Amino acid sequence: MAVRAPSRGGDEERAFDAELILFVPEEERVAVMVEACSKHSRSFVAHVYRPFLSYALQHPHATSLPALLRRFLEEVDLAKRVSMIRIGWEELEKVLAANHDNNTVCVVALESFLATCPMQVESMVDFIERTMTCDLSKDVRKQVMQSVYRCNLSDDAKRWYFVQAMQLESTRYVHQESLMSPSRVQPPARVCFGIPAKDGPLP
């Protein structure tokens, strides 16, 4: 099925929207999306990809969009995939910001993102930054770690994620302890030539 370019200006540009995808046979949708992304990337992202992904992040169990988007992302070339995942981060951040006080919605969105976006190790850097360093509750971070363990990421990506996540959690804990109870955080023991030093100045 050929994909027509959107009209310029006014409401006519809306002709290129989700309906173009949803009204084609299911077995042709991924091919239509790949073609649209290649030929009319800007309009495709604005009127199809972003709306689809935003809805999938918030209502993953009410639609088949997560599976459709994943198949699409697996079919596009690497450069497009990286770009689409980057746009996906933007949509995810919008959902997290709008629902920062709702743990359930945040966890659902993060789990849906993991199920939708085929990430490799290099993509996990962004995922770590957004899930372990932003203002998410400890319960949400814990559930996200469980979701990463269950999802279909590569073993290398999972391994890298858990190493980094545990280091960040450890750093966060030490920082919080130092703020709450400075006396409980002991300075490192002084060592002189491999032997613990006694009190007093080092030789």
- The single-letter code of the amino acid at 144 is V
CA dist., res. 192 & res. 190, Å (int): 7
Q: Decide if 26 is inside a domain.
A: yes
Q: Decide if 122 is inside a domain.
A: yes
Q: Decide if 107 is inside a domain.
A: yes
CA 112 to chain CA mean position, Å: 9
Q: Decide if 70 is inside a domain.
A: yes
Q: Decide if 123 is inside a domain.
A: yes
Q: Decide if 8 is inside a domain.
A: no
Q: What is the pLDDT of residue 71?
A: 94
Give the domain range for residue 41. 15-172
**Residue 166 and residue 141 in contact, taking contact as beta carbons nearer than 8 Å:** no
Query: How many domains is the chain partitioned into structurally?
Result: 1
Q: Which residues in the chain show pLDDT less than 50?
A: 1-15, 174-175, 177-179, 182-197, 199, 201-203
Q: What is the pLDDT of residue 15?
A: 44
**Token code pair at residue 97:** 């910001």
Say how many CA atoms lie within 13 Å of 40 toward its Cβ: 22
Residue 201 DSSP code = -
pTM of model > 0.75: no
**Token code pair at residue 174:** 């030490």
